């Protein structure tokens, strides 16, 4: 059995590779252009003969088609990632997310190869109807705000996947990830937990955007990849959309305090207006919480919120890196 992971050099993709190798995989192909993914994420797999790294862009139709043809299952995780990165690179983000998904689905439909499509809680947009369940409405703002372009592109990806399921019987599962976090995630593209941990360890101020009352439901990457694998292996899940997240929101102010406490840092918290952080016209969803009823009914479990475990894992990783660099 050959598993193809697009975005296999990324944060979630590399953890998924570990999970598949530990459980089932005979062979794994990791397709990545290493723009936001990094070689260091998969360094530990370099000598594993079951792993092949394919340095390619998911927008490259022919290469993707060949990789999908050789695979028995596809996890399509390659995508533009990080709100900061997306608002700064709207065109590449749209092209990667739209063309990449079209390429994967079109090729998979040839042989009916099962596809997991990584989507995002971002598709709910600025809906205030928390907790979000899969059939809830999405609420987007104007097309002049790049964030909604990302949300729309991900929503179009979902429409495409579901249409391939309906019209071509393609076994697809759509998973909407809610703030997946853990070791290997970089703060470079704006994600809050690695950013705060790095700031706290460096003794710098923790930069809370807005008033910090906005909430997010943080989910450990180890849970996210286990669910990803289980969903694709569950026939009943095919043609369906699932929230993947731990249903227990934390405010960003509380998060900052927890990080300071757990690192034992002297850092202070500073509040920065959203416009200063992300540019004019930025819009921010206030609350984000998944309803995981459907997930629980389908695979029998859902992740528990465990902010302490997440933060400890990230802090331990960053501390170990600092020690190694000395």
Lookup result for tokens 């934390």:
250
- Does residue 191 bind ligand UDP (CB under 6 A)? yes
- Does residue 127 bind ligand UDP (CB under 6 A)? no
Q: 113, 214, 217, 265: which one contacts ligand UDP (CB under 6 A)? A: 214
Q: Do the beta carbons of residue 105 and residue 166 sit within 8 Å?
A: no
Q: Do the beta carbons of residue 170 and residue 108 sit within 8 Å?
A: yes
For the question of residue 150 being annotated catalytic, the response is yes
Give the total of residues touching ligand UDP (CB under 6 A): 13
Lookup result for tokens 């109807």:
129
Q: 209, 237, 247, 249: which one contacts ligand UDP (CB under 6 A)? A: 209
Distance between CA atoms of residues 145 and 269, nearest Å: 28
Alpha carbon 260 to its chain centroid, in Å, reads 25
- Does residue 250 bind ligand UDP (CB under 6 A)? no
- Does residue 179 bind ligand UDP (CB under 6 A)? yes
Question: 75, 124, 140, 150: which is the annotated catalytic residue?
Answer: 150
Distance of closest approach, residue 248 Cβ to ligand UDP, in angstroms: 15
SS3 76: strand
How many C-beta atoms surround the C-beta of residue 307 within 10 A? 20
- Does residue 6 bind ligand UDP (CB under 6 A)? no
Give the residue with the Cβ less far from ligand UDP, 83 or 172: 83
- Does residue 192 bind ligand UDP (CB under 6 A)? yes
Distance between CA atoms of residues 9 and 34, nearest Å: 7
* Residue 52 structure tokens: 């092949």
What does the longest C-alpha to C-alpha distance in the chain come to? 58
Give the residue with the Cβ less far from ligand UDP, 114 or 125: 125
User: Which residues partner with 270 through β-bridges?
Assistant: 207
Give the residue with the Cβ less far from ligand UDP, 119 or 214: 214
Distance of closest approach, residue 289 Cβ to ligand UDP, in angstroms: 12
Q: Site residues for ligand UDP, window 82-121 (CB under 6 A)?
A: 83
- Does residue 216 bind ligand UDP (CB under 6 A)? yes
- 3-state SS of 16-41 is HHHHHHHHCCCEEEEEECCCCCCHHH
Distance of closest approach, residue 178 Cβ to ligand UDP, in angstroms: 8
Distance of closest approach, residue 192 Cβ to ligand UDP, in angstroms: 4
Cα 86 to Cα 15, 83, 109, 120, 141: the distances in Å are: 23, 5, 29, 13, 16
The residue ranges that bind ligand UDP (CB under 6 A) are 83, 179, 190-192, 195, 207-209, 214, 216, 252, 284
Catalytic residue numbers, as ranges: 150
């Amino acid at each position: 059995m050959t598993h193809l992971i697009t975005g296999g050099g990324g944060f979630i993709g590399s953890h998924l590779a570990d999970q598949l190798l530990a459980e089932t995989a005979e062979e794994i192909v990791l397709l990545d252009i290493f723009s936001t993914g990094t070689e260091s994420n998969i360094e530990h797999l370099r000598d594993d003969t079951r792993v092949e790294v394919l340095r390619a862009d998911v927008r490259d139709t022919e290469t993707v088609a060949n990789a999908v043809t050789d695979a028995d299952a596809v996890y399509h995780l390659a995508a533009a990632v990080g709100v900061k990165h997306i608002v700064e690179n709207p065109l590449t983000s749209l092209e990667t997310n739209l063309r990449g998904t079209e390429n994967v689905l079109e090729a998979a439909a040839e042989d009916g190869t099962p596809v997991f499509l990584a989507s995002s809680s971002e598709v709910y947009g600025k809906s205030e109807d928390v907790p979000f369940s899969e059939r809830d409405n999405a609420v987007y703002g104007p097309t002049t705000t790049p964030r909604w372009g990302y949300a729309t592109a991900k929503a179009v990806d979902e429409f495409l996947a579901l249409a391939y399921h309906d019209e071509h019987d393609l076994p697809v599962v759509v998973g909407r990830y809610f703030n997946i976090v853990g070791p290997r995630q970089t703060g470079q593209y704006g994600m809050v937990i690695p950013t705060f941990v790095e700031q706290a360890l460096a003794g710098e101020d923790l930069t809370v955007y807005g008033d910090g009352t906005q909430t997010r439901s943080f989910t450990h990457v180890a849970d996210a990849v286990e669910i990803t694998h289980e969903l694709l292996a569950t026939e009943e899940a095919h043609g369906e959309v699932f929230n993947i997240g731990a249903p227990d929101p934390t405010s960003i102010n509380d998060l900052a305090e927890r990080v300071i406490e757990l690192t034992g840092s002297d850092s202070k918290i500073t509040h920065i207006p959203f416009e200063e952080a992300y540019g004019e016209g930025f819009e921010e969803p206030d609350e984000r919480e998944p309803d995981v009823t459907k997930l629980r009914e389908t695979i029998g479990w859902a992740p528990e919120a465990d902010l302490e475990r997440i933060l400890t894992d990230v802090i331990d990783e960053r501390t170990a890196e600092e020690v190694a660099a000395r």
